[in-house]
Structure 1
Amino acid sequence: MLVFYKERLAFLAVPKTGSTAYHTALSARADFVVTGPPELKHAPVRRYDRFFQNIFRKMYDAEMEIMAVVREPIDWLGSWYKYRSRDDRIGHPHSTRDLSFDDFVQGYMQNPRPEFADVGSQSQFFRTRNNGFGATHVFKYENQDKILSFLQDRLNMEITLQRENVSPKRDLFLSPETEKKFRKRHADELSCHNAAL
């Protein structure tokens, strides 16, 4: 999470949407940087609103606009699948090393989810509190040019991104049956992505 006080902007870090590269590029420019623990670095909208936004409201009578990035849901799951197949995950309950992507997505659709597929939900990340505010600027991950343009204009600076947190290459084959089932069961995830800029 990055907060730019003068610009009244909070950049929330949705996991697996390139937030680490933005953190690296913008940490020195931000007024408030949260890099850990993961529950705070990746604080969803309602947690940010309840705790962090409240600080700005009560202490400074200021409201931060919230920006975040959302990824196409199957692509997002593919990123998690690859990330959890790293060598340092071998033997861990999160490891996807010995699973196909289809197995991973099938696991994601179970209730409860097995540990290896328990990666949260982008639509839940954007849920607001009953009396809270939602994200003001939500960008699609694939529209990096729009994200960069927005940030460069808002922060009045040139931004150079480097690739970070690169996961191993894996086959992301998904059977038509699994994809159809996912799209039906998780329509909220697709709607969340479709509504973004």
Structure 2
Amino acid sequence: MLVFYKERLAFLAIPKTGSTAYHTALRDRADLVVTGPPDLKHAPVRRYDRFFQNIFRKMYDTEMEIMAVVREPLDWLGSWYRFRSRDDRIGHPHSTRDLSFDDFVQAYMQSPRPEFADVGSQSQFFLTRSNGMGASHVFKYENQGKVLDFLQDRLNMQINLQKENVSPQRELFLSRTTEEEFRKRHATEFACYEAAR
């Protein structure tokens, strides 16, 4: 999470959407930088509103606009699947090393989800409290040019991003049955993504 007070902007970090690269590029420019623990670094809108936005409301009578980046839902799950197949995850309950991507997506659709597939939800990330504002600026992951243009204009600076936290390459094959079931059961994830710019 990055907060730019003068610009009235909070950049919330959905996991697996390139947030680490933005943190590295902008941490010296931000007024508030939260890099850990993960529950705070990746605080969803509700948690940000309850704890952080409340500070700005009560102390400064102002609110930050919220921005975030979302990823196409299957691509997002693919990134989690690849990330959790790293060598340092072997033997860990999160490891996906011995699973196919189809197995991983099937596990994601279970209730409750197995630990290795319990990676949250992008659409749930944006849920607000009853008195919360929600996100004002949501960008698609593949539209990095729009993300950069927005931030460079808003912050009045040039931003140089470096690739970070890159996951291993793995085959992301899905059976048609699994993909159709996922699209039907998680339509809100696709709606959330399609609503972004």
Amino acid at match of 1:10: A
- Give the TM-score normalised by the residue count of structure 2: 0.99
Q: Could you say what secondary structure the match of 1:131 adopts?
A: coil
Q: Which residue of 2 aligns with 1:148?
A: 148
Corresponding residue for residue 59 of structure 1: 59
Mapped to 2, the partners of 1:181 and 1:130 lie a distance apart of: 31
Partner of 2:102: 102
| Structure 2: 5+ residue stretches without partners | none
1:47 is matched with 47
1:137-182 per-position Cα deviation (integer Å, ceiling 9, x unaligned): 0000010000000000000000000000011000000111100000
Structure 1 alignment gaps of length 5 or more? none
C-alpha distance in structure 2 between counterparts of 1:61 and 1:179, whole Å: 47
Q: Which 4+ runs in 1 deviate beyond 4 A? A: none
Cα displacement (A) at 1:96: 0.1
Task: Report the TM-score, using the length of structure 1 for normalisation.
Answer: 0.99
* 1:35-184 pair list within 5 angstroms: 35-184=35-184
1:192 aligns with 2:192: yes
Deviation at 1:62, TM superposition (A): 1.2
CA RMSD of aligned residues (A): 0.4
Partner residue, 1:27: 27
Rounded Cα–Cα distance in structure 1 between residues aligned with 2:115 and 2:31: 35
CA distance in 1, matches of 2:174, 2:138: 27
Query: Which SS does the other structure have where 1:82 is aligned?
Result: helix
**Partners in 2 of 1:63 and 1:93 — Cα distance?**
40
1:54 CA drift (Å)? 0.2
Q: Which amino acid in the other structure matches residue 15 of structure 1?
A: P
Give the 3-state SS of the residue equivalent to 1:106 in structure 2. Answer: helix
Aligned length: 197
- Letter paired with 1:19: S
Deviation at 1:130, TM superposition (A): 1.2
Equivalent position of 2:18 in the other structure = 18
Residues 21-68 of structure 1: CA deviation (Å, up to 9, x unaligned): 000000000000000000000000010001100000000111100000
1:68-89 deviation digits (Å, cap 9, x = unpaired): 0000000000000000000010
Amino acid aligned to 1:92: H
- Per-residue deviation, 1:101: 0.2
